[in-house]
Structure 1
Amino acid sequence: MYDKVLVIGNGGREHAIVWKLAQSPRIQTIYVAPGNAGTSTESKAVNVDIDVKSNKAVVDWCKANGIALVAIGPEEYLCRGLADDLEAAGVKCFGPSAKAAEIEASKAFSKDFMAKHGIPTAQYQNFENAESAKTYIRNADFPALVVKASGLAAGKGVIVAADKTEAIAAIDTIMKDKVLGSAGDTVVVEELLDGDEISVLVFSDGVNYSIMPPAQDHKRLKDGDQGPNTGGMGAYCPCPLVSDQVMEQIKVEVVQRTLDGMRKDGRKFVGVLFAGIMLTKSGPKVLEFNCRFGDPETESVLPLLESDLYETMLACTEGNLPRAVPVWKKNLYAVGVVLASGGYPQSYPKGKIITGLEKAREHGVQIFHAGTAKSENHIVTSGGRVMVCLATHSDLRTAKQLAQLGAEIVHFEGKFFRHDIAFRAIGRVSKKDPLTYSMSGVDIAAGDRLVKSITALTDSTKRPGTMGSIGGFGGLFDLKAAGYTDPILVSGTDGVGTKLKVAQSFHFHDTIGIDLVAMCVNDILAQGAEPLFFLDYFACGKLDPGVAKQVIAGIAEGCRQAKCSLIGGETAEMPGMYAIGDYDLAGFSVGAVERDRVLPRSDIKDGDVIIGFPSSGIHSNGYSLVRKVVERAGLRYGDRAPFEESKRLGEVLLTPTKIYIKMLLNAVKKGYIKALAHITGGGLTENIPRVLPPGYGAFLDCNNWVIQPVFKWIANEGNIGDEEMLRTFNCGLGMVAIASPSDAQAIIDESEGQGRIVGQILAIEEGSPKVNVRNFQESLNTRADKIVKRKFGVLISGSGTNLQALIDHIENMKGRSAAEIVLVISNVDGVEGLRRAQRAGIPTKVISHKGYKVRAEYDMKLHEALTAAGVEFIILAGFMRIITAEFINKWPGRIINIHPSLLPSFKGHDAHRQVLAAGVKITGCTVHFVVPEIDSGAIIAQGATTVELDDTEETLQERVKKVEHRVFPEAMEMVAQGKVFLQPDG
């Protein structure tokens, strides 16, 4: 006889349950309500539409369809008595009654229950009055820093405070602000325990029980247990942190006492009891009880079950668990990595297409779906936690690496996951495990997988001259194919220094590869050379393919920015040379310069100007000193940056080094620049002299550039003098150019307005300082008045190069811009402009114009979206739609456009063609307010460029674009600061 089963829920836990139940020979069909895109693909499984929020609807459906067993996943259905109603109707249910489920539904009840039955737990007290709770926190002789809403709060009801002030604030948040509704009417305040947290799940028939292998969840969002709490970012099983002796203690003092106590209190527990336990120095203590399978623990526990899950569930409902005691696989680990949507655990987008699922399965990775749905022929995201990549192996490290490989392969826009699941246990696995070559420290298979996973990354950096691909004994490059006639080769090598320590401590490896490329290619640019190809050296004690791929992805991104090819590298795994988790990097870049363009030139003279190009921050030098300052300040990298509170300190310190190739190479090739100094170790005072001829010095005025707040903080916190700052850090200038005054504006234009004249070259007497810096202390201590930010929305249709110029301007101002882009809307999906905004962390929307019969209807949709985002001004940056007068009249004097000519001449869409036909010698661009008459609004700013005799529409367009990229941000800033506004008379 074959049975029909109903599983209620739609998460990764339910998919894992369905997957395991489908292996039972006794089951004919598994119905899942509502299920997800993964449950419907399992053999025997069918998603069904039942009103699961109605107990009666579920009971009636089960009776009508001959359901032999109902397995309930989420606690909410158990807490409202669904199991009771099913049992009353004669339908077996694997899950406790509402009275038994109160052990999760009420944390106050749960704590009192533990106290009553002698179950070890943290010191606590329950409160219905906020002021009493605050007094308890203030007066407790232990750290009363854990505040829990007693009721069900979807995993968001526990706040672990850093101090008493934070704990008291949590009381107000829950009890006074009512952020969790009635779930926070009662709160539990309890002692903060210290130790390793584990999850112990138990099958129970009410009397008999069987303990599953212990698991460990990872609640925090980011690597290294940083970031906010979540529903769980991954789990592994079994957890080797708990000994057999401690498990026996848990069995006697927790499991036995709990099930006996529930039975004595008339709350017999049938189903899965979940105990969250802290392994403290004084023994195991219960943090919480749940009345069901945990998520994501279930996804890592059930793959280790050898026996039939259905038989065990049935036996529990029949009060006869000894009939089907579960049997577990030996010498096997399971590791699950959660893939989350960008923005989780806060708001996040849905409907993102998921790819790579089959490829991940080819590597032996099991995918358990959670927040997924089917849309046409695609599987798309529909929740915060999207899926779990699960792998099993006899070696925990290998299981972790395989699961992480799966997480790398599966792709959807905004994907996020932790790279350190099981990090506490790795290295503490029993020494009695049989040794393998992989366990001795060298994993050839991991290296092979890494090479396969990065091939696409390296291929994305190919440029003319590149030959072959990675994996050979050497990298090949064809100079002739790159277009050189009489080249000199220039090579550079560098590392990233102790900035690596920050990346490793903060568990953020995505951008350190950009630093590596930048340090090498900026050096050879200073010789006038164009970087052609790059090689890297990655050395570690134990290869973590996920970390290595992040680093190499950063290197590839750096190569793309520098327009050079990543043609090879070496990955060295050296157990004993480096600690687990540590790695070192070195980079090697080769470039070429035509013989007559080598820098520095010999014609530097008195009166030449110094043009400074802003750094992105500290870049990659001085980090030994920076780390000392952080230590002196008593800060951690996960703390808020004291000088930029919107970011973590680690985020700011890991801002990648700026790459100046795109900004400066054209100016170098055109002969505008006499010398370039890359401001690295040695700072301004020791790098600029490297390019100066005898008898000349550099005179800089700090009032001419922005010194970012991080440098002020370093100087103040470390009590570092001016001279030490100037010879250690770039202090806001990452690259310095020397040029004739007549070429200065051309260089600034080529850099899209990012360069600024910061000083000049003057003749000096022998023995005088080669670099003189004025107003350093004044600039360092200047605090601008608080800037009022004006919110801009940008409308685009394509690649978004002007949008990028606006983004770069705001970033380069380092918080001093009065403009803030809060929304980018495109009428076309998938365009590069959207990706530019997303990389900058700017919210985006796609609002297609198709399907609207009347143009004004579409414009009103735009209006609604812009208004909802709080937009104050609108910028049209390549928006290929003519907006209606109705829309313009709703935003009078608040819409800005740029036109590629010097208005009022050459209006319309074909301005470049009109310019060439007219034979004029000068053209440019105009930023203007938008009015109903096309290209007729008041002019905000203009920029000019020449028209060459051999210009085509395409070459003229490119030259004008460079001017646009300078003028458009300047105009936006003037509007944001209120320096320019449209009066009622136009």
Structure 2
Amino acid sequence: MATKKANVLVIGSGGREHALAWKLKQSERVGSVFTAPENATEFSVGDALKSLSSISLVVIGPEQQICDGWTEALSPYAKVFAPSKAASIIESSKTFSKNFMQRVGIPTAEFRVFESPAEAISYLEKSGKSKFVIKEDGLRAGKGVFIVDDIEQAIERITVLEISESSPVVIEEFLEGYEVSALCFTDGTSIKRMPFSQDHKRALEGDLGENTGGMGAIAPLFLPLDVEAEIDNILKQTVSGLATEKLAYRGVLYAGLMITPDGPKVLEYNCRFGDPETQVLMRLLKSDLYDICVACVDGTLNETEISWSHESAIGIVIASKGYPGNFTKGKPITNIPPNTPEVVTFFAGVKQNPETGELVNSGGRVLCITATAKSINEGKFKALETAKHVVFSEKFYRRDIGHFVTDHRQSLSYAKAGVDITEGNNLINLIKGACKRTLIPGTEDIGGFGALVDLKKAGFSDPQLVLGMDGVGTKIEIASKAGKFDKLGYDLVGMCVNDVLCYGAAPLAFLDYYVTGKLKATAASSVVIGVAEACAEAGCALVGGETAEMPGVYGPEQWDLAGCCIGAKERHWANIPDVASIAPGDVLIGIASNGLHSNGFSLVRAVLSSSGTELTDKLPWNETSTFADELLKPTKLYVKSLLPLLKDSKLKAISHITGGGLIENVPRVLPDGLTAEIDCASIETPEIFKWIQKTGNIAPSEMYRTFNCGIGIVAVVSEDLEAYVLHHLEQNHLAAGVIGKLTKKQNIGSTTVNLLNPEANFTLAEVAKPVPMANVAILISGSGSNMVNLIEASFKPQSHANVRLVISNKATAGGLKLARAQGIETLVIPHGTDRHVFEEKVDAALRERSIDFICLAGFMRILTGSFTNKWANRIINIHPSILPSFKGAHAVPLALKAGVKVTGCTAHFVCEEVDAGEILAQEVVPVLPDDTESSLHARIQQKEHHIFPIVMELVASRIVKNEL
């Protein structure tokens, strides 16, 4: 006799509830799924409500119903998956939540609870802090948390809140870091954590605009192993702590965490599934959601296995224009593509027009387009393509969901050193004359152990020193490829001198640092002579520096450049930035840049590469110049034009627009509580920026976050001095104009820079099709030095390799921690005593994650023929010899014993016979007379670090092109 199927009632009508209903319907144990109130995509719930006896399980979505006691009200009729009203206090009362964390020892922000405005204000005034988070107690639908930037703003907020014994307020420290959502199932004793996910709260791309309920989410996130362990412990502590206080918690526990430099700290608890995190998590859940919910209610979660897909999931919310503010309802929504195995659309603020039957918007968040794929980038493309086809006149959505995945990857490097004295001396002779011409009173010539600066002889009586240090970044790669070095000196000096100028100081002395793998005196002298010429123009002396030759650290064609400017200002000169005088109504004057200056060149190079553009190509808007000419325009020096205005208190502040663009640099000179309102339509944006944006399909907001977009300096000026300053700049041949003004922050916690008309100078970016990628697994047994280079190579914009997984046969392998720090999943599979059992586990893990090929990076196990045959032409190894010579584990000592003059390394496919697979690439290393096993192996490793990533990319590209 067939088992009767269960009916399930889902309470709530948002995208979260649609996702839960969608997943519950997939259960073989479930007959019908009802929702209340009804969603446009679900059945009417009227009959189900009349006859609760037909319902086996109720799942409550929204927090309001949980905190109102619906769990208790419905429990006599059916099993209810949601915590009790008593336990939901973890969300409904912020004061309880914070005090509970303090009692149990759960890391959170420092806080105080106040029951009167006077006490709160007194605390603020005595705190000595400037930035706070103020939280009203109780459920506030996401509107009871305020980030305030200064004491004045905090007091203003406190005065408008209704604070009393029954309605207290929490004031806590502002935490810096990145946010992560950690959700778990719990039956009050056991917990089963879901994959980490991340919500995107801000309304606009680039994490700009107001806070919302969530504009999209991604999962899974792979956090550093120690952070993951701390979060798991936090969740266990929370559930056990509630149980100790007689608050048995069953259902979903959601901890919103900030990952700070001191570790994870809990921002808040929610007593329910997150929205939109649920939409992506349900796409990844492989187990039966009905069984999980019942196990939580019955207290048998520890007996329930929960499995998750190893794909990546992304959800992109389509919202009504105006959200989270006012928006128009009742607008038709059409052309929603049908669901596929990869893309599923969940409905949120959607209703059916009773007269026409068409779907219309009824809320701020309307749809959530979810996609699963081998990588976040591939899933993002699928979701955005679907969103693009939805017809809805009021729609808007973010195209940068998931940016965290690449934004927080770190850089790692390895090196050795060496020097060519003769070439260094040649360089000094070539540049000495140019340096001498920059000397000013009080400074000395180059060539000594240092440089003496006599401030009195330089004309200062009561000086303050200001120092600025910077580099030129990857613009040097453009210069090297073009063979043009003469203007890089202006870039180096400009980056440092313009920074010093932001403090109202006159540049006095300059030092440069030039480092290379192989010193070429002619090229180096061209750079340093450019530095000297720029110093002369800026009025500062080039008093010395360092030229370092570092073979092994840098390749023969690699080099870098950095500099330090020492500036000085008299104590009686104007205090710049004059933060105390900066006020609403002040004018923002934008002073033109000379092109890109020295920032954003990593992105520029990626755009050049992806578009097939050569540096020698003519500019589409100017046939007389090449891309090399345009990109190598030198950074503009503003000292002689602006220093007189700064000394004379005509400017309150200036901001040097470097990396981070207008969005990141303007706030650096503003006091808390002010917003820079910038009208992008008033900016004369050079054609090179428009070309980069259009060719690279880059969102306008990202352009303003990365490049100067035509503005080299932003000056803060009193409105009454606007005309005077503009006239002075015109007289000094600087193109400038008013681009905005300062206003008081209307919404506490809103952004410091508000870009108006950001698309005025740019074309809306289309969805760029991602580079096809092959999933890579790296097998390690130790520190993972080769692994690091493979991971870094996979991060390059045009790489076809997606390092998806790192497996180690040893739990103590240092490479595991490094991989997790890059956000890559790691697994430990002990090799045990049976090779076949071990390899079966590895094979299963690889296939579950759709791995295309494997890189062995210090993996100290010999693989069986059975395994290598399964993965024929899909396993790459790097061997420390020129194969077929010196096979096996002792290649380096064998080479030394044989007395060969050269050895090296070989990248090859792995087959059943040791070190006998197809050779993919080789590098030669000379054997020196005094070489030891250690010194020779170290030089071979340097070559391995170079060749292995190249071969990984070669194999990945052959796989995606179906050539392998």
User: Structure 2-normalised TM-score?
Assistant: 0.47
Instruction: Say which structure, 1 or 2, has more relative contact order (CA 8 Å, 6+ apart).
Output: 2
User: Structure 1-normalised TM-score?
Assistant: 0.46
